[in-house]
Amino acid sequence: MASWEHVAFLAGSENRVQILETLHDRPRRQCELVCECGLSRSTVHRALDGLADREWIHNEGGVYRLTVGGRLVLDQYELLETTIERVDEWGSFLQNLGETATTLPAAALDDARLVSNAPENPHAAISHVADVFVTSDVDTFYGISPVVSPVLNHGARELATSGTEMEYLIDRSVLDASQSAYPDALAVAHSLDRFTLYLHPDELTFGLAVLDDRVLVSTYDAHGSLHECLDGTDEALVRWANDVYEDYRAAAEPIDAPEAEATSRQ
């Protein structure tokens, strides 16, 4: 029997999943399953036969228990259900985040908050990020930005001047725009002892901020406007964000003040 047929069998009836979940706690007799699951005897009997045929459960003297394979199937099926729920809720954000989203653990979204722009509040996402920057009292900040924004620049400056150790990673388009439109802000950044600016060789398409154990992940629309922001503190999310940042920083080079000034004169 093909794997998809086994998946279809399990997904085709909530009763089968419920019985596996009930047996997950401890072995039970058929009469116990009828009572605890609230199902008819015939329904439980048919489900048990199908589960036993697939060796997901084993009957020992009228007592049914999960096999090791059955336990693995149930765990992975529940993970699939959770992932589908997360994609349904976070689909637009994940699509806009792009390839980076493929490594984002689904569990990291459990307690995260999604701030999205709306007609009644078209600047909700960037306002949220800026507020977090301004109000946070953190020791370290690691950031990635694909755009130049005076609002975010102001928030980052508040963090930097408060003594936070900061690293900010940008691409060539952001550096060029900063040199031409915001040279004073760039000069201030270079003057700070605990601030390091990095240049990534490739175009950046998303925003990331790791503030100690809090993470902000931002997506942008086709016009370069911050559209949505994930805000979370889940340990899995923080680990993922640190890994993403380290990967990008490994490919980047520090930008020092003389280099920035030389580039602005060309």
**Helix, strand and coil percent figures for the chain, each rounded to 5:** 55, 20, 25
What is the reported pLDDT for 264? 42
Fold exhibited by the domain 104-265: Endonuclease; Chain A (3.30.870)
What's the rounded mean pLDDT across residues 84-90? 83
What's the rounded mean pLDDT across residues 247-264? 74
Q: Predicted confidence band at 266 (pLDDT cuts at 50, 70, 90)? A: very low
What is the reported pLDDT for 89? 82
What is the reported pLDDT for 65? 96
Strand partners, 232: 215
Selected residue with higher pLDDT from 265 and 154: 154
Fold exhibited by the domain 3-76: Arc Repressor Mutant, subunit A (1.10.10)
Q: What is the mean pLDDT of the chain?
A: 91
What is the reported pLDDT for 187? 87
Which tens digits make up the pLDDT trace of 185-243? 888 888 888 899 999 999 999 999 999 999 999 999 988 899 999 999 999 999 999 99
What is the reported pLDDT for 81? 87
Domain positions in the chain:
3-76, 104-265
Q: Which two tokens stand for residue 185?
A: 């802000």
pLDDT at 77 over 50: yes
Q: Which of 160-164, 186-190, 255-259 has the lowest mean pLDDT?
A: 255-259
Q: Judge if 3-76 and 104-265 fold alike in CATH terms.
A: no
pLDDT at 261 over 60: no
What is the reported pLDDT for 263? 43
- The residue to which tokens 């942008």 are assigned: 220
What is the reported pLDDT for 191? 86
**Whole-angstrom distance, CA of residue 40 vs CA of residue 34:** 6
pLDDT at 114 over 90: yes
- In angstroms, what is the C-alpha Rg of the chain? 26
Name the DSSP letter for residue 118.
B
**Whole-angstrom distance, CA of residue 195 vs CA of residue 191:** 8
CB 233 within 8 Å of CB 214: yes
pLDDT at 167 over 60: yes
Phi/psi for 58 (5° steps) reads -135, 135
What is the reported pLDDT for 59? 96
**Whole-angstrom distance, CA of residue 24 vs CA of residue 132:** 43
Which tens digits make up the pLDDT trace of 22-64? 999 999 999 999 999 999 999 999 999 999 999 999 999 999 9
What is the reported pLDDT for 251? 97
CB 228 within 8 Å of CB 96: yes
